[in-house]
Amino acid sequence: MKNADQWVHDHRAEWSYKKLVRWVRPGEQVLNLGAGDCRLDLLLKDRMGCELIPVDVENHNETTLPVTFYDGKTLPFPDQSVDVVLLLWVLHHAEDPAEVLSEVHRVARRAVIVFEDRNESVTDRMIFRGFHRFLRWSQGFSLPHHEWTRDQWCHLATTVGFKTSWEGLIGRQLGPFASCGIGFVWEPIHSQSRTQLKPPTLNSFEKQKLELIVSRGKL
């Protein structure tokens, strides 16, 4: 039988999975930054055939999936190398969210999905603080560095070079004891996006040369 801790972890993964199915496409390459227990990664892999890359600064992994650890600053992946990056309840834990988001902007090709706490009212902030003290005690997660609102996250996203394709309230992951969540889908604007690159046009001389090479079987 599951203990309360396992139940909470499974519930959180299922909850996030249900939210994400509308934004993640089957078979996509998904980098889960700040993956935590990695249970969500297993669901996305098994149910949607996604290729998961869990990444974290600390080891909270409870699965057999391999996690890539990094220094919280530079992601060890090439530019525009993954379809989607997940940042679920992570940015407020980062010392420098701008640094993290800039790196995410560099590696993400299609979209970045962010879940954050709403933090608009005094009540929101009280719940946010209480809940994170509980998380530190029960799971060992470090306390948040930032208690930002929707406007602050949106401002950061714009500054780093994202455009928002969706945003809205996503409910409370753990009922009335948890903060109300806000979700963002941000699309990276790359100065020379691969998808915007036009194929080179050949002049008639180059076309003849290419045809000759092909007819001689060199290609």
Ligand X SMILES: C[S@@+](CC[C@H](N)C(=O)[O-])C[C@H]1O[C@@H](n2cnc3c(N)ncnc32)[C@H](O)[C@@H]1O
Residue 194's alpha-carbon distances to 80, 84, 108, 191, 197, in angstroms, are 9, 15, 12, 9, 5
Name the residue nearer to ligand X (CB basis): 34 or 183: 34
Query: 35 Cβ partners below 8 Å, 6+ apart?
Result: 41, 54, 55, 56, 60, 61, 67, 86
- Cβ count within 10 A of residue 166: 13
> Is there binding between residue 23 and ligand X (CB under 6 A)?
no
Minimum CB–partner distance for residue 190 and ligand X (Å) = 21
12 binds ligand X (CB under 6 A): yes
* 42 touches ligand X (CB under 6 A): no
Nearer of residues 142 and 193 to ligand X, judged by Cβ: 142
Nearest residue to 150 (alpha-carbon basis) of 127, 181, 173, 122: 181
Closest approach, Cβ 211 to ligand X, in A, equals: 52
89 sits near ligand X (criterion: CB under 6 A) = yes
- Does the protein bind ligand X through residue 75 (CB under 6 A)? no
Nearer to ligand X, 141 or 193 (CB): 141
Contact 80, 157 (CB under 8 A): no
Residues 131-190 contacting ligand X, CB under 6 A: 141
* Least separation in angstroms between CB 144 and ligand X: 9
In whole angstroms, how close is the CB of 134 to ligand X at the nearest point? 11
Give yes or no for residue 67 binding ligand X (CB under 6 A): no
CA distance 188 to 199: 22
State in angstroms the smallest separation of the CB of 92 from ligand X.
9
> At its nearest, how many Å lie between ligand X and the CB of residue 203?
49
Residue 57 interacting with ligand X (CB under 6 A): yes
Query: In whole angstroms, how large is the CA radius of gyration of the chain?
Result: 21
Angle of CA points 101, 107, 111, to nearest 5° = 75
* Interacting residues with ligand X (CB under 6 A): 12, 16, 33-36, 56-58, 60, 72, 88-90, 93-94, 100, 141
